[in-house]
Amino acid sequence: MPLHRLLNEIAALPAIDAHCHPLLSNVDESRVPFLSIVSEAEGDALKYTTDTLVFKRAIREISKCLNTEPSIKAIVEARESITPPLYLKGILEETKIHSLLVDDGLIIPGVSTIPHTEVPSTHPSKRIFRLEMYAESAFKESLETPILLNNSKNFDLKSNRTAVEQSVHKRWQNQFTHKIQSAECVAFKSIAAYRYGLQDLHVADEGRELEKEIAEAIDRFKPDNEYVAGRASEFRLEGPAFVRQVVQLGLDVAEERGLPVQFHVGIGDRDLDLAKANPLLLRPLFEKWRKVKFVLLHVYPFAREAAYLASVYENVYVDFGLADLVLSADGENASIPLIIPVAALNLNARLGQTTTIRELLHLAPTSKIQFSTDAHFHPEGILLGSKWGRKALAEVLNESVEAGELDFDEAVDVARDILFGNANRIYGLGWAVEEKGREENFIEQPRDVGETTDTFVKNGVKAVRVTWVDISNLTRTKLIPATHFASIASTGISVVSAVMGFPMTHDVVAIPTKTINVTTDAKLVPDLSTLKQLPYHPNHAVVLGTFRDGSGRESGGCARVSSHEVECTLRGLFVDRFDKPNANQSTLHRLLSHLQKTYNLTLQAGFELEFTLLTTSGDPVDSTNYAEWGALSPKVAAVLDEIVEYLEAQGIEVELFHPESAGGQFEVVLRYGRARWMGDAVVLARQNKEAPLRGLKDNVEYKAMDGTANPYLALAALLAAGLHGLESKLELPPPVNVDPSTLPESERPDRLPTKFMNALVNFERDEELRKRLGEEIVDCFVAVKGTEAELHSNMRFEDARDAVMSKF
């Protein structure tokens, strides 16, 4: 199964970012440089970030979304033109991240960030309470009174040292316990791996070691010291006794409150000892605090160990967020690694997030894996972490589908749990999953078109067919040399709008309109998610196109903000479609979006393709009947095998194929997605094969449709009629459980028109369909089909038949 199909499904799923950090409320390039998106380096070392491959990749991704040049200057200027909360809102909508779980322990004094309560997410964003930060804060508060007393002439610290240490210890424990008991949060988090390591955290302290550390901390502490959480500072609680007590107090309260506890494991900043960050060191904690859910964050390079722990301990969960290594060119034997955040994941390296996810899935239950980005300060971390994280997840799950471990729907379900469901359950959020099918969203472009084109050229592709389906369901195409395709992928190809009004037999405009004529141009823009090499003609690739207006605007206009409302922001983030009003796909997309937004329903379709195989003389290849074995002669079977092979090679799954009733007639049934819609008819029947519209459990099958029907418009018309029924609260007629042709005339349901022109007149006069489909699409369809009928009426039946057959 081609990767792009699974990637497109996963790209449309909602997600919870189960671990990130505060994001900037104001652009502050001097305090938080843009380069820090892809590097933990500081000072002079940061300038070398621009020379990393992952930085160049990140710049390209971000510039695409902002529609700017791929340069830091252009990106920063575009960001500064949009308020940070609005910018964040656009990123969350584009990435379909419905909530952030924010570890607010990473702060820089004087740098303003957006409080988690003000994050513009679909569901309220929540706080994660960092134990070590608030333990240090409580210690500082417990020291202030004794230290101030030391400045008094009447207080002798030396002679009162023991009393001061005992007071500080007690005050600190009380202060810290109060903070964790009253903290409004959905989880605790420990960075013990940074402070001391994960070893021996279960060991009870007998007092002497902690007393010594308290004494040393009092000596180190200065009242005017500015504590910087999460960064190197003059004052940190990092002695083993302190760290152990912080973790143990946190776990005790987490158990009382029923809160999960996240633990940083694996790689991190340069002050972390990787050998002491192995999650296997936490096993004594898992055993002692069995009622606490432990979430192992980041896990690289200990994904196998983390997966093993999640598989054998009921209370252990794993995360595939954050970090990866920027490897040497061969992806192996990297020397000194540069540690980077998830926003800069190098997914093309052999050792990376894809490998991490693969290793997690080898052992860990899929219900115990969560997704996060670990984005900090710059919201682009969410954009890149989500995009690349979903890509890595899709790649790994696609391997399982191809290996037969999962079917397609199971792979999507696994992704749904990892991205949203598992975190929703682990943290007790209780949110409903709100999904939008891909057809209701802006068509994602999941490929780097330059890299893809280069690969195609290396594989022998010489041209790309940019195709579209017209009103009469003829597939039309423009060919672009493969070496030139990348340059037109975003701008599209200019095509005279008259092509939307051609009848099937003649290239003449049926009835010119203001947008369908020989003087107005439209843009045919490729949907890169459909780009694939043709298996039956490997020298060509094919991509489906969508018509846009003549300016080529496809996913938003200029980035600008009104003082009262957002008119148009962030090309590619807030999506404002500019499809031609008579474009087939646009009409269907609009109706599907209305169905989802109004009724929270999504709809997908599958088609049963019926066709007749003819000899060179034009006669059917046989005279067999329905499902007759004799129809599968070696020559015919070879043709059918080839048809199915080529369909599946393009990602079009075939569910069934068999001989039909007429001579030489065969049927290929394509697999559907969520529901199977094939129709619009007057007669409703349940489990009745003779009715043109029949209900099959939750599915509906429509039989009165042939190969000359444009599938987009046919589905759009069915959907429009269904929406009218929903909004008008119409009742379904009684089901017909017999062959309608056997009923007496008086009992038969109303018939559909028996003549084409009668049906066309009824369609033209149907106010509901005209209103829902759009005046222009109805007028265009009626004009084209009316012209075809007129042309055929002046021809002999045999000539008209042959003319149609020659096209289809």
pLDDT the model gives residue 283: 98
Residue 263 or 475, more confident:
263
**Segments of 266-419 assigned E as strands:** 294-298, 316-319, 324-326, 338-340, 369-370
Instruction: Confirm if 313 and 286 have CB atoms less than 8 A apart.
Output: yes
> How far is residue 542's CA from residue 478's CA, in Å, rounded to a whole number?
10
Q: Report which secondary-structure segment, H or E, holds 261.
A: strand 261-265
pLDDT the model gives residue 514: 63
pLDDT the model gives residue 171: 85
Tokens 């405009």 belong to: 509
pLDDT the model gives residue 304: 95
Span 77-84, average pLDDT: 82
Residue 510 or 47, more confident:
47
pLDDT the model gives residue 238: 80
> For the segment 259-276, what is each residue's pLDDT rounded down to a tens digit?
999 999 998 777 788 999
Q: According to DSSP H, which parts of 67-203 are helical? A: 72-80, 84-95, 131-150, 161-182, 192-195
pLDDT-derived band of residue 327, with 50, 70 and 90 as boundaries? very low
Tokens 């799954």 belong to: 653
Q: Could you tell me which residues are beta bridge partners of residue 19? A: none
Helices (H) and strands (E) in the chain, counts: 24, 22
Q: How many CB atoms lie within 10 A of CB 465?
A: 18
Span 299-306, average pLDDT: 93
Burial tier of 209 (Cβ tally within 10 Å: 0-12, 13-18, 19+) = middle
* pLDDT for 462 beyond 80: yes
pLDDT-derived band of residue 537, with 50, 70 and 90 as boundaries? confident
pLDDT the model gives residue 293: 98
**Closest C-alpha to 385, from 347, 351, 328, 336:** 347
> How far is residue 684's CA from residue 630's CA, in Å, rounded to a whole number?
34
Q: Specify the CATH class of 608-807 in words.
A: alpha beta
- Range with the largest mean pLDDT of 20-34, 290-304, 322-336, 781-795: 290-304
Span 15-35, average pLDDT: 85
* pLDDT for 346 beyond 60: no
Long-range CB contacts (within 8 A, 24+) of 775-779: 776/513, 776/515, 776/516, 776/581, 776/582, 777/581, 777/582, 777/587, 777/713, 779/511, 779/513
pLDDT the model gives residue 554: 35
Lowest mean pLDDT among 36-45, 165-174, 357-366, 786-795: 36-45
> How far is residue 297's CA from residue 797's CA, in Å, rounded to a whole number?
72
* pLDDT for 457 beyond 70: yes
Buried b (16+ CB within 10 A) or exposed e, 420-458: bbbbbbbbebebeeebbbbbbbbbbbbbbbeebbeebee
* pLDDT for 498 beyond 50: yes
Lowest mean pLDDT among 86-95, 136-145, 557-566, 601-610: 557-566
CATH topology agreement for domains 3-48+83-130+185-435 and 608-807: no
pLDDT the model gives residue 435: 52
pLDDT the model gives residue 674: 35
> How far is residue 110's CA from residue 186's CA, in Å, rounded to a whole number?
27
Looking at every residue in the chain, the average pLDDT score rounds to 77
- 408-416 vs 380-402: helix crossing angle, rounded to 10: 150
> For the segment 132-162, what is each residue's pLDDT rounded down to a tens digit?
989 888 888 877 665 545 554 454 555 566 7
pLDDT the model gives residue 125: 95
pLDDT the model gives residue 438: 40
Instruction: Confirm if 781 and 471 have CB atoms less than 8 A apart.
Output: yes
Long-range CB contacts (within 8 A, 24+) of 622-626: 622/663, 622/664, 623/663, 623/664, 624/659, 624/663, 625/659, 625/661, 626/659, 626/660, 626/661
pLDDT the model gives residue 679: 25
Output the CA–CA distances (angstroms, integers) from residue 481 to 493, 547, 703, 730, in the order listed: 13, 20, 40, 53
Span 343-361, average pLDDT: 63
Domain ranges of the chain: 3-48+83-130+185-435, 608-807
Q: How many CB atoms lie within 10 A of CB 360?
A: 25
Q: Could you tell me which residues are beta bridge partners of residue 100? A: 17
- Range with the largest mean pLDDT of 71-85, 88-102, 717-731, 788-802: 88-102
pLDDT-derived band of residue 335, with 50, 70 and 90 as boundaries? very low
pLDDT the model gives residue 433: 65
User: Between vectors from CA 356 to CA 355 and to CA 359, what angle results, nearest 5°?
Assistant: 85
> How far is residue 213's CA from residue 218's CA, in Å, rounded to a whole number?
9
Q: Could you tell me which residues are beta bridge partners of residue 667? A: 610, 658
Instruction: Confirm if 245 and 170 have CB atoms less than 8 A apart.
Output: no
> How far is residue 538's CA from residue 459's CA, in Å, rounded to a whole number?
8
Report the CATH architecture of 3-48+83-130+185-435. Alpha-Beta Barrel (3.20)
**Closest C-alpha to 735, from 785, 779, 682:** 682
**Segments of 482-539 assigned E as strands:** 493-496, 521-526, 532-533
> For the segment 211-251, what is each residue's pLDDT rounded down to a tens digit?
888 888 777 766 544 444 334 345 677 889 989 999 999 99
pLDDT-derived band of residue 682, with 50, 70 and 90 as boundaries? very low
Question: What is the 3-class SS of 581-646, one letter each residue?
Answer: CCCHHHHHHHHHHHHHHHHCCCCCCCCEEEEECECCCCCECCCCCCCCHHHCCHHHHHHHHHHHHH
> For the segment 576-625, what is each residue's pLDDT rounded down to a tens digit?
333 444 455 667 777 877 777 777 777 767 777 788 888 888 888 888 88
Specify the DSSP class assigned to residue 116.
G
Tokens 């240090």 belong to: 136
Sheet strand arrangement including 684-686: 684-686, 693-696, 699-702
Residue 454 or 11, more confident:
11
Instruction: Confirm if 378 and 343 have CB atoms less than 8 A apart.
Output: yes
Span 407-431, average pLDDT: 94
pLDDT the model gives residue 780: 82
Burial tier of 366 (Cβ tally within 10 Å: 0-12, 13-18, 19+) = middle
